[in-house]
Amino acid sequence: MLVAALLGSACSEQTPLSPSAERGRQVYVAQCMSCHGPEPGQDGPLGPAIKGASHELLEARIVRGSYPPGYTPKRPTRIMPPLPALAADVPALADYLR
């Protein structure tokens, strides 16, 4: 009982992720966290908050180092390097960040 109550009140990161979102979380921790910080909903040491980033935005940023047509970037800088090797992980990242 007590355990269930504690689990229920824990922060959202404790809720089980789908396999795809869990894969996205692992990629995020390994490849993105150093710049975007441990909590995607908050600005990191280098990069802005990216929680809720769409599949389209992630693909443009990660695969091509660009932005979707008409998208207004959160930052005018060009610090983030393209990471095209992660193309196959974009759907998982989108699941994790949604």
Which residues here bind ligand HEC, judged by CB under 6 A?
A: 31-32, 34-36, 46-48, 50, 53, 57-58, 61-62, 73-75, 77-80, 83, 86, 93
Structure tokens at 96: 């994790």
Q: How far is the CB of 56 from ligand HEC (least distance, A)?
A: 10
- Shortest distance in whole angstroms from residue 31 CB to ligand HEC: 4
Distant-in-sequence, close-in-space partners of 72: CB < 8 Å, separation ≥ 6: none
Residue with Cβ nearer ligand HEC (21 or 47)? 47
